[in-house]
Amino acid sequence: MRRRRSLSRLAIAAAASLTGVRGWCLPPSPPHSSVLVPCLFSSAREDSLSTSTVHLRGVAVEMPRGASTLRTALLKAGISPHNGRSKLINCRGLGTCGTCAVEVLSGSVAPRERTARELLRLQSVPPHSFREENAQRLRLACQCAADSEELVLIKYSGFWGQDLSTESTEPADDFQTYFGSLEYPFEDGEKEGPENE
């Protein structure tokens, strides 16, 4: 398995040098194949050192621009896009539960338009579908990535973050990942932890 991974990384590096693409990732919407594609999340791919400062729950964190979904980048930074028990009970980035719904107050995310998965979840499935404004204002953090220098997000109250009349009051330090790197199984890249050192 380890040899296979290093061979695929070598192939990716060779393809990157031939094409000039600096970022490679899995497609944003599962199911994923084992094929890596140029990372098209960000319009700033030519600058591999480009970062975004993301504000959520009164905390600002820096993350690589377009490198992973907002959900994954926030979890790795110690901030959850989920409320209450949805930190444990969620789809782990599949885009099916809607518990990572946030509003983009300022800045931009990629893709700019909602994905088919976001539209299906926010417009067709309760509780988000009860109000049309939910589908228009919310994005699923597991289906988009930061695409601007500054990004301000609002997490609303309710299990699914669906109550647009009240901002969530959960503190940023009320955070726990129950399953380690399995919290974001559909993201490409090295798993963090002592086993990879």
- Section 135-153 average pLDDT: 94
Which of 176, 178, 147, 193 lies closest to 45 in space, CA to CA? Answer: 147
Q: Looking at residue 21, what is its pLDDT?
A: 42
**Residue 23 pLDDT more than 80?**
no
Mean pLDDT of 83-97: 93
pLDDT at 9: 53
Average pLDDT, the chain: 77
Residue 31 pLDDT more than 70?
no
Q: What is the CA radius of gyration of the chain?
A: 17
Q: Please, are residues 77 and 103 in contact by the beta-carbon 8 Å criterion?
A: no
Mean pLDDT, to the nearest integer, of 70-79? 93
The answer to whether the predicted template modeling score (pTM) of the entire model surpasses 0.85 is no
- Cβ–Cβ under 8 Å, residues 95 and 143: yes
Confidence of residue 105 (pLDDT cuts 50, 70, 90): very high
Q: Is residue 49 pLDDT above 80, yes or no?
A: no
What is the set of domains in the chain, with CATH numbers?
Answer: 41-189 (3.10.20.30)
Is residue 113 within 8 A of residue 103, CB to CB? The reply is no
Mean pLDDT across 6-24:
47
Q: What mean pLDDT is predicted for residues 105-119?
A: 95
Question: What pLDDT was estimated at residue 1?
Answer: 47
Over residues 102-119, the mean pLDDT reads 95
Which residue type occupies 116? Answer: A
Residue 112 to residue 147: CA distance in whole angstroms: 9
Residue 134, token pair as written in the block? 């939910």
Tell me: pLDDT of 62 over 50: yes
**Mean pLDDT across 134-144:** 91
How does residue 81 score in pLDDT terms, banded at 50, 70 and 90? Answer: very high
Mean pLDDT value across residues 26-45: 42
Give the per-residue SS3 of 64-129: ECCCCCHHHHHHHCCCCCCCHHHHCCCCCCCCCCCCCEEEEEECCEECCCCCHHHHHHHHHCCCHH
pLDDT of 176: 77
Starting at the edge strand that comes first in sequence, how are the strands of the sheet with 51-56 ordered?
Answer: 59-64, 51-56, 150-154, 101-106, 138-140
- Residues whose CB is less than 8 angstroms from the CB of residue 149 and which lie 6 or more positions away in sequence, other chains included: 51, 52, 53, 107
169-196 tens-digit pLDDT:
998 878 778 888 888 887 755 444 333 3
Q: Give the rounded percent of residues in the chain with a pLDDT score beyond 90.
A: 51
